[in-house]
Structures are given as structure tokens and as C-alpha cells.
Structure 1
């Protein structure tokens, strides 16, 4: 016991030593223009299986000195338990930064992060006889580049000057190319209430789901968007939102919030109203979302009444 207490005391004294703090790089300046709101609800479910992650500056979090920080927004929609979503929320962004391509090739780094997260979780789930999986949708913003990556059916909606663009082509078993991939690898796609892999899983790509390998892969698809500063917001959310609230209604709710009080701090003040405006209406679904918003110019606020367009 004395040896244990001595070790604990040594660790505590080490944490009190702040002499190395001066050698750490200063955090990169925050983007004061962008505001983020994040929320989740489990409704009538017994447990919450979804997770979301919002990191405004990945480099500052991991002590990387850079003048062009990376913002990271992710939603993980777990199924058959919350273990996979929890693992993704704790590790995927870490594996992204760990990649040697993180600063030079963000797409390749993102691919490695998805596949490594899947491999590590499947290994642990096999050891512990755990099951379950999680869809994943990630939006990373660096400079004038937005990268959306996804495995599963969670979506990311980009709004730009009243025009809406869905960045994600969801992975469903009845998507023709997904069906062909599953069948050619030895799996089946059957209809039982909805289209399912091997008669059970309703998504064709996810992290985890060891018993459905190789039919259900974690390899993400990606979409790159060049930003020009005219973007209004991006919404990242699971199907607990999108299955019951249309993209138009989500966008209208956010635009209404921006128009009503464009200078409001969304992180502190706007969350409750925004969540209530686009809350999931059905009681047996969980939902998680993040929204990154930029202030609207006066002339764009005046054009809200003209309606939304899809691109």
C-alpha cells in the first residue's frame, strides 16, 4: 500500500509541474464567424445509442502548430447497443490525426481513420463477444475545403445562399451498386419491412457489425466541396432526424433562427430553440445532430421569403 501511495503522490507532483507549458505551441485563432450547435435526444428509447463529436480545432487539441486548423464534426448512429458509436466518438478523430497523411492528404487520412476504427473495434468486440455497429458521417473543414465522409445512412446537408445540397449518398442495401457488392461477396439482400443485409441489417456500410463482414464494410465514400465564403451552414445528423423531418424544414428552421437573431451565440443561447424547431417527432427513435452556422448578410436575410432551392 505504501508503494502505491508513493506512486500516486509522484504522479500528482508531476501534474503540478507546469514548467513544460511554455514550450507548447499557442492554440490557433478560433473562427469567430462560425457558430456550432449540437444536441441529441433518445425520446422513448431506454438507452441512447448515438454519439456526436464537435471539435473546432483538431490541431490545437493535439498540440500541432499550424496556421490552417481543421474543424471536425461527426455523428455516429449506433445500433444493437451504443458500444460502436461510443468507440467511434472516442477514437476516430484521434486516428485521423495519427495518420501520416493528416496534414498533406486529408482524404487518405480520413479513409485510414475509418478503416482503423473499424478494425480496432471489431478486434475488441470479438475478444469480448460484443456485437453492434454504428454508421458514421464526418464533416471536416480546413481553410476553403470541406470534406464529407460517410459509411451508412446518416446525412450532411449544406446550405449556400438559400440553396440546399445533400453531400451524402446514403448506403442502403437496395442501392444498386451496394446490392451488387453485397451479393457478389456472398451476402443477401432481402425485404423484411425494409431492405436488409442477410435479412437483418438495414444499412450496407457501418463501423463494427463483425458478424456481417465482409458484406457490411466501413470503407467510406467522400465528397469534397470548395468553399467560397458564401455558405450559410452545414447540418450533420442521423436518420432519427432525416427520416421524419424534411431537409427543407430543417433548413427553414435554421434560417429562421439566423434571421430572427443573426448575432446570437448559437452555442450558448440558440440550442434549445433550434432543437425544438427540428426535434424528432416520433417517440421510438433516437437522434443526434450538429450544425455549423455563419452569420447571414442583410441582403440574404431579405431573400428568405423567396424559398429554398435544391442543387
Structure 2
């Protein structure tokens, strides 16, 4: 793969990663990655494993083509460990949940163990080669500006099917941005679990649009239930994209955005859920809510500036977690997919965003190499760029 092993020697690239990773391991570090503020149920454990594993692997620049295999392996071994030695994973029998700190330590310990195994060349040689279709290259970043805490989150999941062990010949890539408000709890929860509920949906992968809707509603319902027992708060917008079988699926709630750049033309994929939309205002009023002006803008019940979101328990059912979904074919003229919060799009026009991106590519061409992605007999040039900025 071009982005992982320029000389085609993927085993050499993997070997270098494992050597560097193991050399940097600090077995006495009790908090090598950030942990969730909530206890984890049995139903949520896969999402938590993925979140912790990727945080940990990416500290040492794990090759994108290797991530899915390692994450899947960690999922299998931690699930087995939870059955055989639940206390070692932080299981609390009285509450039937896992403490996030103890579970995180079990997961990172397992990652250390697995990576150490692959220092053995005989085991290394058994690793599967990278997918035949190169994975898109990602640039991601964020800034909290004057906020005390960063409430936004983004997710990059290459090869979703390999991570979840889904038997399907196609390669699926998932990218998402979550813009939290009134706290980071909802954004953190979505960043760990929305893709889990997508992959676990009975409609996936045969009906991606229905599966995305199912995943949003499940995530919203599960977060609301959790907030009633574990004092989680706040809400989040969400824009999630799935690239599968030469199609781009976009699902969103709230005012974060997705834009597809095609030969210098910007295609807006999202119609933001703000209160300038008359259909959203009418829907809220029919549900018994009030839309009124406050601080110079229209808000739900005079407080919330978006009409749809995950979480925001006290505004349900007026502020729904049901997404709008769009599917567009990929025809080979795509250059970028941009996902961004309103903290970026409120201050920069699409043309200005493009200027910034092209300037960065010119300034750092090696970092932003555009990949040639093959779908059957077609070639599609795509640079996936995910940008998230906290509001000023």
C-alpha cells in the first residue's frame, strides 16, 4: 500500500511498527490513553475496545492497513477474557458493568501482548496482506480555541468489515465528526459506539441507509438510558460517512457538515438541521416544542440552536436523533471529502476552505499525497480530509 509501505514490503513496514511500539511501551503507565467517564455495559464493550485500541496504536503511527486486523484480534481476545476472567477487565457483578479504567488497562495490556507476539518473524509472516484497494489518506485535526475542554470528537475507521469480522468481499471505510455541546459526554459516547451499532445492525451491510438510521436511533436511545443512571449530560451533532461499493453514504443530525470536492467544485451533502428550516420548525411545534429567538438566533425552547441531535434528554422528543441520509455515487471525479463542525463552516466559506486545503497540499505534498483508489475497473482519486474545530 502506498501510504504504509512505499516499497511494497508490507511485512517490513509492519515489523518496524511492532519493534517501535514495543520499545515505547511503559508497563507502569496507568493511564496511557483517555478513558470514558461512564461504566461500560456488556452491549457496549466492543465499541470501547475499538476506541481504546485505536487511541493506543495510533500513538506509534500504526499503519492504516494493519489497524483493522489488530483491532479485530484485540476484540476477540478481550471478549474471551471478559468471559473467563471478568474481574481482570473491571467487571462489577452488582452493577453488571465494567469500570472504564480497569477495562482500558486490560485492553492496552492485551495490545502490548499481541504486538510483542509479532516480534516473532514466524508469526509476523502470517499477517494478511493489505487490502487490494488502497485505503484513503486522512488528515484530521481540531482546536478548542478559548473553550476549557474540547467537546468535539472525530472517528477514522479503515476497513470496517475486517474490524467486526463481517464476511463481505467489499471494503468499507467510516469517517465521522461529532460536535458536542453542554459537555463532551454525548460526543464521546457517539465516537465509541455509533459505528458499533452500525456494524451490528441487522440491516448492515445489505441496506446501508437503513443501517445508518438504525445506528443513530440506537445510539440516541442508549445514551439517554445511560444518562438516567450514570449522570451523563449534553448532546452532540453528528455527521457520519460510509464509503462502500462505489457509493458514499452520509447521515447527519444537527449543523455539522459534509462537502464533496469534485474538480474544484464543492457539492454540499448536508442540509443542516437549524431553525431557519421551516420543515424543522413545524416538526418541533407539532411535537409540542417552542421555537423562539434568543441571543440573536432562533432556538428550541429558547436554548438549543439545532433541531436534531443525539442526547439532549430534556429536549426530547422535539430534538430528535433521527438522521437525514443521502447516498451519492462515486464516479472518479472526487478529490476530497470534508467533514467539519460549524466552528469551521460558520467562519469560512467553501471557497476559502478549499484555498486553505490546496495551500496545505502545496506546502506539504508528501503528507497530503492523493491516492489512486481502484474500484473494479475505475480509478477514483480521493483525499479524505476530516477537520473539526470547536466553536469560538
TM-score by length of 1: 0.77
Q: Is the 8 A contact 1:172 1:204 kept in 2?
A: yes
Structure 1 gaps of 5+ residues are 268-277, 287-311
2:242 matched residue in structure 1: 140
Q: 2:215 aligns with which of 110, 113, 138?
A: 113
Q: 2:330 aligns with which of 223, 227, 244?
A: 227
2:55 matched residue in structure 1: none
For 2:356 and 2:132, the matched residues in 1 are separated by 26
Q: Is the 8 A contact 1:53 1:74 kept in 2?
A: yes
Q: Secondary structure at the match of 1:75?
A: strand
Please state how far the C-alpha of 1:42 moved relative to its aligned partner. 0.6
Q: 1:204 aligns with which of 303, 307, 317?
A: 307
2:160 matched residue in structure 1: 58
Please state how far the C-alpha of 1:259 moved relative to its aligned partner. 4.8
For 1:239 and 1:30, the matched residues in 2 are separated by 36
Please state how far the C-alpha of 1:64 moved relative to its aligned partner. 2.5
Alpha carbons of structure 1 residues 67 and 25: separation in structure 2 relative to 1, 3 Å: farther
Q: 2:356 aligns with which of 253, 257, 262?
A: 253
For 1:165 and 1:220, the matched residues in 2 are separated by 19
Alpha carbons of structure 1 residues 236 and 252: separation in structure 2 relative to 1, 3 Å: same
Q: Is the 8 A contact 1:174 1:189 kept in 2?
A: no
Alpha carbons of structure 1 residues 222 and 80: separation in structure 2 relative to 1, 3 Å: same
For 1:50 and 1:170, the matched residues in 2 are separated by 17
Please state how far the C-alpha of 1:56 moved relative to its aligned partner. 1.6
For 2:252 and 2:342, the matched residues in 1 are separated by 13
Q: Which moved more, 1:103-112 or 1:122-131?
A: 122-131
Q: Comparing both chains, which one has the higher relative contact order based on Cα–Cα distances under 8 Å and sequence gaps of 6 or more?
A: 1
1:285 matched residue in structure 2: 391
Please state how far the C-alpha of 1:261 moved relative to its aligned partner. 5.6
Q: 2:285 aligns with which of 151, 163, 183?
A: 183
CA deviation profile, 1:21-46 (whole Å, cap 9, x unmatched):
99x99476164363111111111110
Q: Is the 8 A contact 1:189 1:198 kept in 2?
A: yes
1:166 aligns with 2:273: no
Q: Is the 8 A contact 1:58 1:69 kept in 2?
A: yes
1:292 matched residue in structure 2: none
CA deviation profile, 1:142-191 (whole Å, cap 9, x unmatched):
12100111000000010001111110000012310000000111001001
Q: Which moved more, 1:120-129 or 1:253-262?
A: 253-262
2:99 matched residue in structure 1: none
2:40 matched residue in structure 1: none
For 1:63 and 1:124, the matched residues in 2 are separated by 27
1:296 matched residue in structure 2: none
Alpha carbons of structure 1 residues 50 and 30: separation in structure 2 relative to 1, 3 Å: farther
2:13 matched residue in structure 1: none
Please state how far the C-alpha of 1:265 moved relative to its aligned partner. 3.1
For 2:128 and 2:310, the matched residues in 1 are separated by 35
Please state how far the C-alpha of 1:131 moved relative to its aligned partner. 2.3
2:11 matched residue in structure 1: none
Q: Secondary structure at the match of 1:138?
A: strand
Please state how far the C-alpha of 1:68 moved relative to its aligned partner. 1.1
1:128 matched residue in structure 2: 230
1:290 matched residue in structure 2: none
Alpha carbons of structure 1 residues 188 and 63: separation in structure 2 relative to 1, 3 Å: same
1:213 aligns with 2:316: yes
For 2:321 and 2:360, the matched residues in 1 are separated by 36
Q: Secondary structure at the match of 2:142?
A: strand
Q: Secondary structure at the match of 2:197?
A: helix
Alpha carbons of structure 1 residues 104 and 192: separation in structure 2 relative to 1, 3 Å: same
Q: Is the 8 A contact 1:167 1:223 kept in 2?
A: yes
1:82 aligns with 2:184: yes
CA deviation profile, 1:162-221 (whole Å, cap 9, x unmatched):
111110000012310000000111001001121100110000000000100110000000
Alpha carbons of structure 1 residues 39 and 16: separation in structure 2 relative to 1, 3 Å: closer
Q: Is the 8 A contact 1:68 1:142 kept in 2?
A: yes
Q: How many residues align structurally?
A: 263
